[in-house]
Structure 1
Amino acid sequence: MTATDPALIGLAQGWCALSWLHDRIEAHIERALQSRHDLSVREYSLLDVLSRQHDGEGGHLQMKQVADAVVLSQSATTRLVTRLEDRGLLERYLCPTDRRGIYTNVTPAGLRLVEEARPTNDAALREALGEAAANPALVPLVDAVESLHVPASTRLRWRLPNLV
């Protein structure tokens, strides 16, 4: 393939459209969460992922799993956790069976905030997708996003935030 290959050009254009759509959706959600709940998209995503933990085998996430779930580096995740911990929304604790493992848990205040923010996140996502669907070039991407219904069991295995 060369730089003028139509398949390569189409692939690059598709990637640019997907990236543009992601950025627009994220910016729309960011504005809504910041204005109504004083949360960034990353903060909300982290609280959302951690709020879905459960007690028992495989129910708690180590910091590396948290980083993977919110698509951040481990150092960025640590800084994010620290900010939310300083606000009283998260707490860290040592794994009872492996003293090297550090887990993160949402506090009651964090659970209340994420529950209050979830409808805002969901509505902003729907609004952003609706606006994007007005652009005929983005309709296939919007349709693809709207058709994704990831089962809860898969979300837990992949540690994906519940965005749809």
Structure 2
Amino acid sequence: MTASDTPATDLAQGWCMLSLLHSRIEGHIEGALHTHHGLSAREYALLDVLSRQHDGDNGHLQMKQVADAVALSQSATTRLVTRLEDRGLLSRYLCPTDRRGIYTNVTDAGNTLLRQARPTYEATLREALDVAGRDPRLAPLVAAVASLETSPLTA
């Protein structure tokens, strides 16, 4: 018996279906955001995460926190921040209390683009989930995602 003859475990099959769902949804979102707003899905996610931080003590996210939130390495996140800064969508400045720290803020232009892109993102996400929900293999995962919509997230 070879490895290809061995049936996938339920856990492995579930993981494959989750990966398939993610790939389909991200592909839809990527296309819509790029076509209508000139943004990638990662750029949108970064703008969204940074727009939710607040001023004040511990209000700005560290680069590791940002990287975790957008599911990228710290170096890839830094490169993404640089690209968006070059486009005038983000700005960086030194932390006033710790010169080693660098804050990243969304500029007015970045906030405007994010506000314009948010309805596209939401509509495309719902559409992609609706399409995926018609696939019997993905329907249980879509239902799980839909249940998160009404459940408050706790830390």
TM-score by length of 2: 0.91
How many residues are aligned here? 151
Secondary structure of 2:9's partner?
helix
Matches within 5 A, 1:1-164: 9-149=9-149, 151=152, 154=154
Amino acid at match of 1:91: S
Superposed displacement of residue 5, structure 1: 8.6
Superposed displacement of residue 124, structure 1: 0.5
Secondary structure of 1:56's partner?
coil
Distance 1:151 1:104, change over 3 A: farther
Distance 2:20 2:133 in 1: 13
What's the CA shift string for 1:38-81, capped at 9, x where partnerless?
Answer: 00000000000111111122221121211111110011001100
Amino acid at match of 1:27: G
Q: Percent identity, aligned pairs only?
A: 72
Name 1:162's counterpart in structure 2: none
Distance 2:129 2:59 in 1: 32
Amino acid at match of 1:78: T
Distance 1:137 1:39 in 2: 30
After TM superposition, the structure 1 stretch with the greater mean CA deviation from structure 2, 142-151 or 84-93, is: 142-151
Secondary structure of 2:105's partner?
strand
- For the aligned residues, what is the CA RMSD? 1.7
Superposed displacement of residue 100, structure 1: 0.6
Secondary structure of 2:83's partner?
helix
Distance 1:37 1:138 in 2: 29
Distance 1:102 1:143 in 2: 40
Q: Is there any run of 5+ residues in structure 1 with no aligned partner, and where?
A: 158-164
